[in-house]
A and B are shown apart, each in its own frame.
Chain A
Amino acid sequence: MSQQRWQFYFLLTPFLLWIGLLIIWPHFNMLEVSLTERSWTQGDSFSFKHYLLFFQQSLYWNTYLRTAWMAILATFITLLISFPVAYYIAKVAKPRSKLALLMCCLLPFWLSELVRAYGWMILLRESGIISGLLQAIGLADAPIEMLYHDATIILGLVYSGMLFMVVPLVSSLDSMDNSYIEAGFDLGGNRWHIFWEIVFPYAMPGVVSGCIIVFMLNLGNYLIPNLMGGKDSLWFTEMVYTQFITRFNWELGSAFGILLLVLSSLLVWLALKLSGQSLSTTVGR
């Protein structure tokens, strides 16, 4: 049918334009820029200079590793905190409180990350609420600065990622038939065994998808480290920003961007391989 082919190309063209012009071409362009050495006298030439610089400057690759490590740590903590909550929502709570709880989890995340970070800043800073309360009840005799530590960054990341962990976990636990748990008890399992052998494996797709999303968000986060970690929080996205906007060194910034992309793809790929899931089942929901 020629009419069908015509319709097909009519739809395919905008799709290719969108994905090509806004995603693929810019990234190849960035790759190209990162491999270019600019010189006023000799013109542009191909060079690995910026990547070499990254490995020579310990500040750069230390920040790189630090970012990866803290993103992973925060993801893991998010999972630990979220799983009991998700389990409660999916299996323990009665239908009405279940909805209310889910709402409570959802609503803060309809809000800008900026506002959420700001809330924590009011709470944690030297002149903040918690410091003030501690002084008022006599646990501290001078203002305490709780912002601008690594732990604060982790706290902020965990808080930011919570929803993206809870929702996939709830949806995968919700789909689990209670009779699996009942059968587990019936066959003589205790709660520990049932959790590790029945519940957790069943929730695995949710766990993996939650972890991947949260990890990606952590790694690419700019606001939390920037606002809660203070001026020298050493986060890799901040370095990308600095090179691009402050230093105007686009070649080095592009190289950093590509390296961050490689890092996230590598870790996501590794997580998928280790858990035996595929990208479309985890992200594509």
Chain B
Amino acid sequence: MIASIPFKARDLKLYKLYIGLFLLFLLLPLVVVVVFSFNDSLFPALPWQGFSWTWYFGDSQPKLGLLHDSRMLRSIVNSFWVACGVTVLSLLMATINALLFVRFEFKGKGLLYMLMQLPLVIPGVILGVSILVASSQLANGLEEAIGWDWPWLRPGLVLVVFGQASFISAICSLILIARYRRFDRSLEEAALNLGANNWVAFSTVTLPYLRPTMISAGIVSFLMSFENFNTTLMLVGSDSPLTITMYERLREGSTPVINAVSVCLMVFSATLALVYLGFRKDAQD
């Protein structure tokens, strides 16, 4: 490819240097986080006190490791359940949206399609705040009018799930719609022609075609939910997901246990990311 763009050798070297610096800029903060998770010191800072696993496995104060930090562990569990909920909701909505926008022609389709993308252009903080206001008003209204108290309308994990799903569904929808648009409808017709009814044709031909994309969209939503901060911050109650707990620790000034959490997150995300890329490759065939 270089053939098409004649570079002088010196220019090319400078260019490569720039790319190298860029990569350094990109990776340095992450490397630092990893390295200091092994520092046997109470603070994630120089000087280097020697290599240690204490921030992962340490079982006594003050060097309490991740595995024995019950608050941290509980928030990981919270995040996990939230992410599961968001993934299920988002995939469901995305499938519905894909069917609606690819298979059907109707009045106002363009407008509704724009509405579907709307959550992507609203800042996450605002999304969270607006849902907070609306759900609290609804909860108050219900309590005053008929005396029902629905705790899940108050800030808490259920509301966090809905808040995150509001925009993660939109992202999943776009991924799935793009894939479904490339589906050859005559495949479904062929299935009908060979004796399948509508549901069998959909489940034996269309769903297998969409499956790799659904899996990768599921991974995207799981990760996005796990890492979401802005929307979550506004909707969180007494049980906090991981990002909120980490944020609170950071503000308090934490021990390197937070590095250890970060490293685990990195490993976890990288694994999911690789799985995702594998499925995305599948989906492009």
Contacts and interface: CB of A to CB of B under 8 A. Distances in A.
Give the one of A19, A22, A30 with max B CB within 10 A: A22
A168 to B, nearest CB: 14
Give the one of A15, A93, A110, A223 with max B CB within 10 A: A110
A280 B269 contact: no
A261 B117 contact: no
A70 interface: no
Given A119-B28, A240-B125, A244-B234, A29 B137 contact: yes
A220 B121 CA distance: 10
B122 interface: yes
A219 B123 contact: yes
Interface in A145-187: 159, 162, 178-179, 181-182, 185
A26 B92 CA distance: 22
Interface stretch (B41-49, B59-67, B144-152, B208-216): B41-49
Contacts, number: 234
A227 B229 CA distance: 13
B21 to A, nearest CB: 10
A64 interface: no
Dominant secondary structure of chain A at its interface with chain B: helix
A114 interface: yes
Interface in B99-140: 99-100, 104, 106, 112-127, 129-135, 137
Given A15-B112, A91-B4, A257-B126, 10 more contacts: A19-B112, A22-B119, A29-B134, A30-B133, A91-B5, A179-B4, A220-B124, A222-B233, A280-B113, A283-B121
Interface of A: 8, 11-12, 14-15, 18-19, 22-27, 29-30, 33, 81, 84-85, 88, 91-94, 101, 104-108, 110-116, 118-123, 125, 127-129, 132, 159, 162, 178-179, 181-182, 185, 216, 219-223, 227, 237, 240-241, 244-245, 250, 253-254, 257, 260-261, 264-265, 268, 279-280, 283-285
